[in-house]
Structure 1
């Protein structure tokens, strides 16, 4: 696995979402709890492009995977 030099706010920017602390908190509060039987990328609030990005990053254990895991945990 590659180590990431990105901040959590960078992941939100990569997803095309506001990345300031208040916006991140609002996003997580609005969309949690994500049911355990729903994969993060299958959540209904993602656009197709966002879902594809999340799947790709996790599937390849890529640069953003650690932060995607953190987002997944925050939404549970």
Structure 2
């Protein structure tokens, strides 16, 4: 089975968010500094469907997990 390589652009599109490089950077700048005690999926800016997708993909260690981890790290950066 061939695994697909997902990017932040693909992830934002999957989440139904604007997904150009500039739009992603703007989102990260606006929402960064997420408290370390809050998991990515529990951040207040996700819709219930977006939060469920993020949570499920991490729990399943699915092929989206790596790029979700990248987003998580960037949003928790200080």
For 1:75, the equivalent position in structure 2 comes to 75
Long gaps (5+) in structure 1 = none
Relative to the length of structure 1, the TM-score reads 0.93
For 1:22, the equivalent position in structure 2 comes to 22
Long gaps (5+) in structure 2 = none
Relative to the length of structure 2, the TM-score reads 0.91
| Equivalences for residues 22-61 of structure 1 within 5 A | 22-61=22-61
What is the root-mean-square deviation of aligned Cα atoms in Å?
A: 1.3
Aligned mates of 1:3, 1:61 — CA distance in 2: 13
Equivalent pairs counted in the alignment come to 75
For 2:10, the equivalent position in structure 1 comes to 10
